[in-house]
């Protein structure tokens, strides 16, 4: 396997009581690669993402970040290793401006005597730089998130995930709730991340998403690895077949 | 006119309208105060803007404003504190008992804020650690508990007569002889200075510190705050504790103003505080509102009551008017939210 490996899961299993959500699943991700994960509802995609982000502990198997074996006790641990998750419900505070959301919980501050005050200027500047880097267009960094469209909110959520030099970003159905004309912008954003050297895992039901942004696609079926291929060596029909559990 | 052009025009009209909303949100309330002042000045030209009457308004609102400021922070988190009226009474009673026991004035002075602090912390711990389903229930309970304790420790009778150092906070006068000549009757109430200082401190706290930002974030989306690694329970305990602390300061001001602690102190003042916060433009759904708005809300309530008293309007009509203003203010909030989500 290549030297660019940033994330690897080896024979990960996850049991919930008598239910087997994942069974000996393998996954690997290279630097700057976009990996699509497909599968029917209940195939184990979201469970796998939660294991990778540290929200769930795997029942069996191990995780490797930069080829080093790690044990994740919470999402905080994976964040410290450079992995960020973009939540499906976006996890943004609509009443706050874009910049406040991107830096929520990690606000830049400046010391005045014994007190730490918010550095509004620096936050605004960092926000504008970061949005420009990701080529996200909004009227102003001070716009409240509730005033944004669904696609812009998704972009802010992704900007939030990548504001602290994330190396790996996990996205769960990033285009599911979007108007058709906004899907393209979010996909462009994912391609931008790739250009910046960020590795991305995208869960999606939409073949258009997978075939626009991914380098490689893997299919889960009933909690197991079912099929995997470089994108150029497969077709939409074949991937749709995998989702339904059909292989030639 | 073709279809595309028409749509473009609608859009520009809408954005102009939507653009005006934040302007009114920010300054509309000050406009309202200026109108009220102008109308009352026209109706009562000799009395309303007299030094005596204006200072009277400020002295009246100073202790109420402490409750409103605390309740405001709670409402920003999408919570509610119904117990502040009882906290003010309990802290006042505690202060009176400490005073009667002959404690030195600087200890007596600390008693009221300390009791408020502890009461607020008790609310905060109940809401978070005991997992009460809603702050309404916890603080409804403590509304009864705190007033009950206040009556238990005082025997349900008023206690009067405090040290001069205590009285000066609520009743002190800063003479303005320098500006108006020797022996002038013009003065600034100490409680007004205290109110301005505290409002300024909390303005800085809410707008220029991380915890202040997190308080707004919790009101906007507690899930987002948690996902951002913010300890929501801890922040909520801080907010309710500060709310109680401010009610304790209110008790201290009230002690100076009335020179007595009485069983009905602060009765229903929690409702006045909520009303002032809502009139001041804070959203009851959390995440929205400003310290300046609270100040304006308190002033509107104070000016309205004062003006109606000067006009000899009955207390019953005052109740009807204040109630109507609350409903109107909330209805404007509802309309605003509808407009904001439509775009």
- What average pLDDT score do residues B36-50 get? 93
B336 touches chain A (CB under 8 A): no
CA distance A48 to chain B (A): 19
B164 pLDDT higher than 60: yes
pLDDT attached to residue B7:
45
Contact between B220 and A96 using a beta-carbon 8 Å cutoff: yes
By the CB < 8 Å criterion, does A101 face chain B? yes
Cα distances (angstroms) measured from residue A219 to each of A62, A88, A199: 20, 20, 18
As a whole number, mean pLDDT of residues B95-119 equals 96
Provide the CATH number for the domain around residue B319: 1.10.3470
Interface membership of B76 toward A (CB under 8 Å): no
Phi-psi sector, B183: left (phi>0), alpha (psi -120 to 50), beta = left
Determine the distance in angstroms separating the CA of B301 from the nearest CA of chain A, rounded to an integer.
27
pLDDT digits (tens, 9 = 90+) for B63-75: 999 999 999 999 9
Q: Is B223 on the interface with A (CB under 8 A)?
A: yes
pLDDT at B134: 93
Range with the largest mean pLDDT of A139-153, B114-128, B282-296: B114-128
What is the structure's pLDDT at B5? 43
Are B219 and A95 an interchain contact pair (Cβ–Cβ within 8 Å)? yes
For A86, which residue in chain B has the nearest alpha carbon?
Answer: B227
CB distance from B341 to chain A under 8 Å? yes
Contact check, Cβ <8 Å, A146/B341: yes
B190-208 vs B210-220: helix crossing angle, rounded to 10: 70
Which of B26, B212, B224, B285 to probe the A interface (max A CBs under 10 A)? B224
What are the pLDDT digits (tens) for A63-104? 999 999 999 988 888 888 999 988 766 689 999 999 999 999
Taking CA A167 as the corner, what is the angle to CA A54 and CA A243, rounded to the nearest 5 degrees? Answer: 65
pLDDT score, position B229 = 83
Buried b (16+ CB within 10 A) or exposed e, A185-210: bbbbbbebbbeeebbbbbbbebbebb
CB atoms within 10 A of CB A118: 19
Say how many C-beta atoms besides its own lie within 10 A of residue B172's C-beta: 18
Q: Is pLDDT above 80 for A158? A: yes
Name the pLDDT band for B337 (thresholds 50, 70, 90). low
CA quadruple B203, B209, B212, B213: dihedral sign: positive
Residue B12 lies in a domain: no
- Taking the CA atoms of residue B173, residue B175, residue B176 and residue B181 in that order, the dihedral angle to the nearest 10 degrees is 150
Residue B227 CA to its chain's centroid (Å): 31
Lowest mean pLDDT among A7-16, A173-182, B10-19, B78-87: B10-19
pLDDT at residue B28 greater than cutoff 80: no
Q: Looking at the domain A5-82+166-243, which fold is it?
A: Rossmann fold (3.40.50)
Candidates B207, B212, B216; nearest CB to A95: B216
Which of B217, B223, B229 lies at the smallest CB-CB distance from A96? B217
Q: Is A68 exposed, middle or buried (0-12, 13-18, 19+ CB in 10 A)?
A: exposed
Question: Which residues does A140 contact at the CB level (< 8 Å), separation at least 6?
Answer: A98
Which chain A residues are Cβ-neighbours of B286 within 8 angstroms? 95
The reported pLDDT for the residue numbered B49 is: 93
| pLDDT tens readout for residues A93-141 | 999 999 999 999 899 999 998 899 999 999 999 999 999 988 888 888 8
Span A11-34, mean pLDDT? 94
Whether A212 contacts chain B with CB within 8 A: no
User: What is the pLDDT averaged over residues A52-65?
Assistant: 92
Q: How far is CA A218 from CA A236, B245, B341, in A?
A: 13, 57, 38
Question: How many A/B residue pairs have CB atoms within 8 Å?
Answer: 70
Contact between A104 and A164 (Cβ < 8 Å) = no
- Test A115 with B209 for CB contact under 8 angstroms: yes
Residue B271 CA, chain-centre distance (Å), reads 10
Where does A58-202 have alpha helices with state H?
75-80, 98-102, 120-133, 150-162, 180-195
What pLDDT does residue A179 have?
A: 83
Chain A, nearest residue to B228 by Cα: A105
CA proximity to A36, closest of A212, A180, A177, A189:
A212
Is beta strand A68-70 parallel, antiparallel or unpaired with respect to A60-65?
antiparallel
CA B341 to chain A, closest CA, distance in angstroms equals 7
Token pair of A71, please?
A: 């044990």
Which of B208, B216, B227 comes nearest A87 by C-beta? Answer: B227
What's the gap in Å between the CA of A166 and the closest CA on chain B? 15
Confidence of residue B330 (pLDDT cuts 50, 70, 90): confident
- The pLDDT > 90 percentage for chain A reads 64
> Residue B28 falls within a domain, yes or no?
no
Residue B338: per-residue pLDDT: 76
Chain B positions in Cβ-Cβ contact with residue A84 (cut-off 8 Å): none
In what order do the strands lie in the sheet containing A68-70? Answer: A19-30, A5-16, A60-65, A68-70
Quick check: B1 pLDDT over 50? no
B25 or A62, greater pLDDT: A62
Tell me, yes or no, if B220 comes closer than 8 A to chain A by beta carbon. Answer: yes
Bigger pLDDT: B72 or B318?
Answer: B72
* Separation CA A152–CA B298 (nearest Å): 38
The domain in which residue B129 lies consists of 39-342
Q: Which of B63, B73, B83 lies closest to B294 in space, CA to CA?
A: B73
Handedness of CA B169, B171, B177, B178 (dihedral sign): positive
Split into its structural domains, chain B has a count of: 1
Task: Give A-chain residues touching B343 at CB under 8 angstroms.
Answer: 147
**Is the pLDDT reported for residue B273 higher than 60?**
yes
Q: Is B342 on the interface with A (CB under 8 A)?
A: no
**Would you state the pLDDT for residue A211?**
94
| A7/B29: higher pLDDT | A7
Binned at pLDDT 50, 70 and 90, residue B25 comes out as low
Which pLDDT does position A247 carry in this prediction? Answer: 82
Q: Do A104 and B221 touch (CB under 8 A)?
A: no
- Give chain A's length: 248
Give bridge partners of residue A25 from the DSSP assignment.
A12
Q: Do A117 and B341 touch (CB under 8 A)?
A: no
- Give the integer Cα–Cα distance in Å for B272 and B275: 5
Cβ–Cβ of B216/A92 closer than 8 Å? Answer: no
Instruction: Report the mean per-residue pLDDT for chain A.
Output: 91
- CA distance linking residue B9 with residue B175, whole number of Å: 60
pLDDT mean across residues, chain B: 90
Distance CA B54, CA A225 (A): 77
ipTM, interface predicted TM-score of the complex: 0.83
Q: Which of A105, A108, A142, A163 to mutate to test the interface with B (most CBs of B within 10 A)?
A: A105
Please check whether residue B22 lies inside any domain of the structure: no
Each domain of chain A, given as residue ranges in start order, spans 5-82+166-243
Structure tokens at B184: 């002038």
Higher pLDDT, B153 or B325: B153
Cβ–Cβ below 8 Å for B217 and A89: no
Tell me, yes or no, whether B123 lies in a domain: yes
For the entire predicted model, the pTM comes to 0.87
Burial zone of B223 (CB within 10 Å; 0-12 exposed, 13-18 middle, 19+ buried): middle
């Amino acid at each position: 396997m290549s030297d660019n490996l940033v994330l690897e899961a080896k024979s990960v299993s996850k049991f919930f009581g008598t239910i087997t959500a994942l069974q000996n699943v393998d996954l690997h991700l290279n630097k700057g690669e976009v990996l699509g994960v497909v599968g029917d509802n209940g195939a184990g995609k979201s469970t796998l993402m939660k294991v990778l982000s540290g929200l769930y502990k795997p029942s069996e198997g191990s995780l490797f970040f930069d080829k080093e074996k790690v044990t994740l006790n919470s999402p905080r641990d994976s964040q410290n290793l450079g992995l960020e998750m973009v939540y499906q419900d976006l996890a943004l505070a609509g009443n706050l401006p874009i910049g406040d959301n991107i830096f929520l919980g990690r606000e830049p501050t400046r010391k005045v005597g014994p007190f730490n005050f918010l550095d509004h200027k620096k936050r605004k500047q960092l926000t504008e730089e970061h949005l420009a880097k990701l080529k996200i267009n909004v009227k102003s960094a001070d716009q409240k998130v509730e005033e944004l469209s669904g696609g812009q909110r998704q972009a802010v959520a992704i900007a939030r995930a990548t504001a602290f030099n994330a190396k790996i970003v996990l996205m769960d159905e990033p285009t599911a709730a979007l108007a058709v004309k906004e899907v393209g912008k979010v996909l462009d954003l994912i391609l931008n991340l790739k250009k910046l050297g960020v590795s991305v895992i995208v869960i999606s039901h939409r073949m258009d998403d997978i075939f626009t942004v991914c380098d490689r696609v893997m299919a889960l079926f009933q909690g197991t690895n079912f099929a995997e291929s470089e994108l150029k060596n497969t077709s939409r029909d074949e991937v749709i077949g995998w989702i339904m559990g059909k292989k030639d | 006119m073709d279809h595309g052009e028409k749509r473009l025009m609608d859009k520009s009209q809408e954005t102009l309208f939507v653009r005006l909303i934040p302007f009114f949100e920010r300054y509309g309330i000050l406009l309202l105060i200026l109108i009220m002042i102008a109308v009352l000045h026209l109706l009562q030209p000799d009395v309303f803007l007299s030094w005596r009457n204006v200072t009277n308004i400020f002295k009246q609102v100073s202790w109420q404003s402490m409750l409103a400021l605390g309740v405001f922070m709670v409402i920003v988190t999408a919570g509610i504190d119904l117990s502040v009226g009882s906290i003010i009474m309990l802290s006042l009673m505690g202060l009176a008992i400490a005073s009667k026991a002959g404690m030195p004035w600087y200890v007596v002075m600390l008693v009221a804020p300390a009791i408020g602090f502890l009461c607020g912390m008790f609310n905060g711990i109940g809401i978070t650690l005991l997992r009460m389903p809603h702050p309404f229930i916890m603080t409804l309970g403590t509304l009864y508990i705190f007033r009950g304790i206040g009556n238990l420790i005082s025997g349900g009778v008023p206690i009067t007569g405090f040290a001069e150092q205590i009285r000066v906070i609520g009743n002190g006068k800063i003479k303005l002889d320098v500006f108006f000549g020797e022996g002038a009757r013009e003065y600034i109430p100490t409680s007004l200075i205290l109110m301005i200082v505290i409002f300024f401190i909390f303005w800085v706290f809410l707008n220029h510190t991380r915890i202040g930002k997190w308080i707004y974030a919790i009101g906007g989306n507690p899930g987002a705050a948690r996902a951002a690694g913010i300890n929501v329970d801890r922040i909520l305990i801080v907010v309710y504790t500060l709310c109680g602390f401010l009610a304790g300061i209110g008790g201290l001001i009230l002690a100076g103003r009335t020179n007595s602690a009485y069983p009905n102190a602060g009765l229903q003042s929690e409702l006045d505080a909520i009303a002032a916060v809502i009139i001041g433009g804070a959203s009851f759904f959390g995440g929205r509102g400003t310290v300046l708005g609270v100040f304006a809300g308190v002033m509107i309530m104070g000016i309205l009551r004062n003006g109606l008293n000067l006009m000899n309007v009955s207390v019953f009509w005052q109740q009807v008017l204040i109630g109507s203003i609350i409903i109107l203010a909330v209805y404007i909030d509802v309309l605003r939210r509808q407009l904001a989500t439509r775009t």
